[in-house]
Structure 1
Amino acid sequence: MDKPTIENEEKRYNKFQWFVFVVLIPTLFTIAIVWIVLSVAGINVLKVAEEKIPFIAESNKEKEKAQSSVQLEKQIGELEAKIQDREEETSKLEDLIDSRDEAIQRSELEKEQLEKEIEELRIAQDEDKLAFKDIIRTYETMSAKKSAPIITELGDDEAVRILSNIKADTLASIMEQMNPEDAARLTKKLTVNSEQNDSQAE
């Protein structure tokens, strides 16, 4: 009884040993040599295996898809953030442009208003000049006897202004009709006024 079981076990060990030495070790040795040769030749064995073996290729494709979808979502998020930033910048620029346009419109309105005021002042000044010329003509047509007392009753500045614009012969007649004190005072002021006008003209 003992002999057959020992023989059976030996046969089993012999078959296993034969499988290991004849099949398994040469196969592993061959795979290792092929791997080394292909690696030296520049071929990525793992990559080729991933492409050729179906379940590895599919799992890698799924991983790549998942990674690419995550990357795409990240890029979309970044682009949306950039778009929002650009929209905010555009809105700020539009507000700035609007405020500048309003400032330009205000300054144009102010300019128009100032031009109107200047024109009104020029018209008023022209009217004043015409009115003053009329006053001068009136004094020149009046007799010296009547105009002298009126001029002495005016303030000195107004009297000097009128007398400095009257013709010389009319001025002499009016001065003759004034009392000596008034004539002397106004003559002195006329002289000062004439000197100031001469210095300004220079």
Structure 2
Amino acid sequence: MVKRNKSSKSMEKAIDDSKGISKVKMFFYWFIIPFLFTLFILLLVAQLTNINVFEKAKEFTGAGQPQVVTDDIKTGRLEKKVVSLQAEIQEREAQIDKLQTELDNSSKSNESLLIEQQRLLDEIENLKREQTSSKKEYSSIVSTFEKMSAKTAAPVLTKMSDAEALRILSSLKPDTVAQIFEKMTPESAAKYTELMSK
């Protein structure tokens, strides 16, 4: 019976020890591990948002208050710094206004240049159309002279300006020009031949 008591006591002690260990495990599982996990998450968030945890802790505890600020306030240096910074801000604002004015002027200048460019492009297009129509008219005049008899074409050409007659004669076929020269006076034929040779 004494043996049973010893063995039952040792079993009870073992059960008590296992309960003690399980209480420690439960404490770790329910408190320490969640606390460490939460701390890890908070530090990770602080790192991602660029928050310095140690400086925030100093702010809350009041440690590390700079003595320089109180000295500056006492000596009036801080006021001088504020005045100089305000002057610098005003100078920068003036520079910004100047640059904004230059930018506005540049924009207006660019707009006027674009309008002028568009006007010139329209004018070029009109000139091209006029040139095309005048080429068509000129080619129809040349074809008309080619269809006319030499006897009829010769007096017409002699009545025209030298430049216009020369232009038409230069565009005609050589056979047609020869026939027209035959019907002209020798002086007129010589004059136009000389002009065509230049």
> Same fold per TM (> 0.5)?
yes
Indicate conservation of the 8 Å contact 2:72/2:78, yes or no. no
In structure 2, the residue matched to 1:28 is none
Aligned partner of 1:183 among 161, 184, 189: 189
1:84 counterpart residue number: 90
- The reply to whether residue 151 of structure 1 matches residue 157 of structure 2 is yes
After TM superposition, give the deviation of residue 150 of structure 1 in Å.
0.4
2:128 is matched with: 122
Unaligned 5+ segments in structure 1 are 1-60, 193-202
Q: CA deviation at 1:102?
A: 1.2
Deviations 1:41-98 (A, max 9, x none): xxxxxxxxxxxxxxxxxxxx9xx67843722222221111111111000000000111
Structure 1 position 108 matched with structure 2 position 114: yes
Distance in 2 of aligned mates of 1:145 and 1:69: 115
SS in 1 for 2:76: helix
What one-letter code is carried by the residue in structure 2 that aligns with 1:152?
T
Counterpart-to-counterpart distance in 1, 2:164 and 2:140:
15
Rg (Cα) greater in structure:
1
Aligned to 1:3: none
Shift of 1:191: 1.1
Question: Take 1:145 and 1:75, find their aligned partners in 2: how far apart are those partners?
Answer: 104
Report the equivalent of 1:8: none
TM-score for the superposition, normalised by structure 1:
0.60
Deviations 1:106-126 (A, max 9, x none): 111111111111111111111
SS at the partner of 2:92? Answer: helix
In structure 2, the CA distance between the partners of 1:73 and 1:174, relative to structure 1 (3 Å rule), is same
In the alignment, residue 113 of structure 1 is paired with which amino acid?
A: R
2:105 match? 99
| Farther-moved stretch of structure 1 (72-81 vs 129-138) | 72-81
Distance in 2, Cα, partners of 1:191 & 1:66: 99
Unaligned runs of 5+ in 2: 1-66
Query: Is contact 2:142-2:171 (8 Å) kept?
Result: yes
**Aligned partner of 1:173 among 171, 179, 198:** 179
Give me the TM-score of the superposition, normalised by structure 2: 0.61
Distance 1:116 1:105 in 2: 17
C-alpha separation in 2, matches of 1:126 and 1:162: 17
Distance (whole Å) between structure 2 residues aligned to residue 183 and residue 66 of structure 1: 108
Instruction: Give percent identity, aligned residues only.
Output: 38
Give the aligned CA root-mean-square deviation in angstroms.
1.9
Q: Residues 6-61 of structure 1, C-alpha deviation per residue, up to 9 Å, x if partnerless?
A: xxxxxxxxxxxxxxxxxxxxxxxxxxxxxxxxxxxxxxxxxxxxxxxxxxxxxxx9
Q: Give the aligned partner of residue 139 of structure 2.
A: 133
Output the CA distance in 2 between the equivalents of 1:66 and 1:79. Answer: 15
CA shift, 1:165, in A, is 0.3
